[in-house]
């Protein structure tokens, strides 16, 4: 069996690394952390106005250290009743040092008087892959759903306990991890990435 191809994850979010690695193993790739790649611990300034801009910024910043295949994720939640917020500010919706619980509490508070049919939302993920001597590949994935009236379940991370994907009655906080990984915005983006790699004749993934 062919050995998995190694990609460095630009994110420092352990939850995202686990999820991306779980998904990309299906494609014959293996994602490692920045620490495992020997990259210094530093924050990438995410000052882009879109998920695409921030994803590219993170990928370029980490790729510059090693010249090895690097994958970056910028993702978040867009709520229609809040004009697309929290959007690119999803991780710091309740402040720079906000926890998932802080962000979830703020979201529920803002939607307190919003009826169920107007609580439509989508998760968005933009994945950027940079490899030596190739143009960056940027792929966007989304999943539609709505925000529940309260948090349920402990699976996943971020807004998962409140996001119910279309066609289901339970939140990502309740649905099994294996199912979420086949439905998620991140999976959809990574699937597009796999197809784009095939177009540029990169075999089954980064070398």
Note the pLDDT tens digit of each residue in 19-38.
888 888 887 888 999 989 98
162 within domain boundaries: yes
- Tell me if 9 is assigned to some domain: yes
Residues serving a catalytic function are 74
- At 47, the pLDDT band (50, 70, 90 cuts) reads confident
Each residue's pLDDT tens digit, 51-93: 999 999 999 999 998 899 999 999 999 999 999 999 999 999 9
Pick from 126, 123, 164, 105: nearest CA to 11 = 126
In a domain, 182, yes or no: yes
Q: Could you tell me whether strands 137-147 and 120-130 are parallel, antiparallel, or unpaired per DSSP bridges? A: antiparallel
Looking at residue 150, which CATH number applies to its domain?
3.90.950.10
Contacts of residue 121, Cβ cutoff 8 Å, sequence gap at least 6: 77, 78, 79, 80, 144, 145, 146, 147, 163
**Within a domain: 41:** yes
The answer to whether the predicted template modeling score (pTM) of the entire model surpasses 0.85 is yes
Tell me which residue range forms the domain holding 169.
5-199
Count structural domains, the chain.
Answer: 1
Residue 19: inside a domain: yes
Q: Is 132 a member of any domain? A: yes
Please confirm whether the linkage preceding 84 is cis (ω < 30° from 0). Answer: no
Q: Is residue 207 part of a domain?
A: no
């Amino acid at each position: 069996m062919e050995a998995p191809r190694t990609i460095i994850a630009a994110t420092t979010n352990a939850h995202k690394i686990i999820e991306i690695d779980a998904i990309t193993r299906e494609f014959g790739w293996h994602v490692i952390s920045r620490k495992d790649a020997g990259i210094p611990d530093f924050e990438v300034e995410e000052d882009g106005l879109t998920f695409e801009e921030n994803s590219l910024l993170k990928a370029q910043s980490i790729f510059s250290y090693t010249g090895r295949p690097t994958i970056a994720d910028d993702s978040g939640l867009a709520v229609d009743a809040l004009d697309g917020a929290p959007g690119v500010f999803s991780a710091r919706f309740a402040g720079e040092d906000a926890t998932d619980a802080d962000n979830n509490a703020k979201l529920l508070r803002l939607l307190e008087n919003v009826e169920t049919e107007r609580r439509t939302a989508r998760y968005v993920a933009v994945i950027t892959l940079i490899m030596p001597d190739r143009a960056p590949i940027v792929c966007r994935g989304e999943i539609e759903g709505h925000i529940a009236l309260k948090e349920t379940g402990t699976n996943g991370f971020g807004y998962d306990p409140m996001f119910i994907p279309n066609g289901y009655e339970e939140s990502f906080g309740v649905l099994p991890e294996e199912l979420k990984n086949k439905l998620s915005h991140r999976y959809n983006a990574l699937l597009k990435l796999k197809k784009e790699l095939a177009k540029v004749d990169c075999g089954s993934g980064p070398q």
